């Protein structure tokens, strides 16, 4: 049996289950979650999110993501959704590039 994770998208309060190890953009696309993706390669910032709960359940930052977020000087709980693989239950708030 495949283990699943629960992803809670905020602010729309959408709860989705997916197999452990699924890329967050795939979960967002399949569920209709309100996250806007641009480049999907960690270089535009349109998919910026805050991990409200479960930061330890997200994959490590890619080099592209680390470089981009370092330029914005944001808190460590902010990630680029297009670069995140979900390894456990998480609550996610969409921020986008302008907030």
Beta partners for 19?
A: 4
> Would you say 89 and 54 are in contact if contact means Cβ atoms under 8 Å apart?
yes
**Using rule CB under 6 A, residue 40 touches ligand FES:** yes
**Using rule CB under 6 A, residue 45 touches ligand FES:** yes
Nearer residue to ligand FES within complex by CB, 41 or 57: 41
d(CA 14, CA 23): 17
Among 47, 51, 73, residue whose Cα is nearest residue 60: 51
Candidates 37, 85, 87, 91; binder of ligand FES (CB under 6 A) is 37
**Using rule CB under 6 A, residue 49 touches ligand FES:** no
Q: Where are the beta strands (DSSP E) in 1-99?
A: 4-10, 14-19, 22-23, 48-53, 78-80, 85-86, 90-94
Candidates 43, 70, 77, 96; binder of ligand FES (CB under 6 A) is 43
Nearer residue to ligand FES within complex by CB, 71 or 75: 71
Interacting residues with ligand FES (CB under 6 A) = 37-40, 42-47, 80, 82
């Amino acid at each position: 049996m495949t283990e699943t994770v629960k992803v809670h998208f905020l602010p729309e309060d959408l709860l989705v289950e997916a197999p452990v190890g699924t890329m967050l953009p795939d979960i967002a696309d399949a569920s209709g979650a309100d996250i806007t993706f641009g480049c999907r390669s960690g270089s535009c910032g349109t998919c910026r999110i805050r991990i409200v709960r479960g930061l330890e359940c997200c994959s490590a930052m890619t080099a592209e993501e680390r470089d981009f977020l370092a330029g914005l000087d944001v808190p460590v709980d902010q990630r680029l959704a297009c670069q995140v693989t979900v390894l456990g239950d998480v609550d996610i708030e969409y921020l986008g590039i302008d907030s």
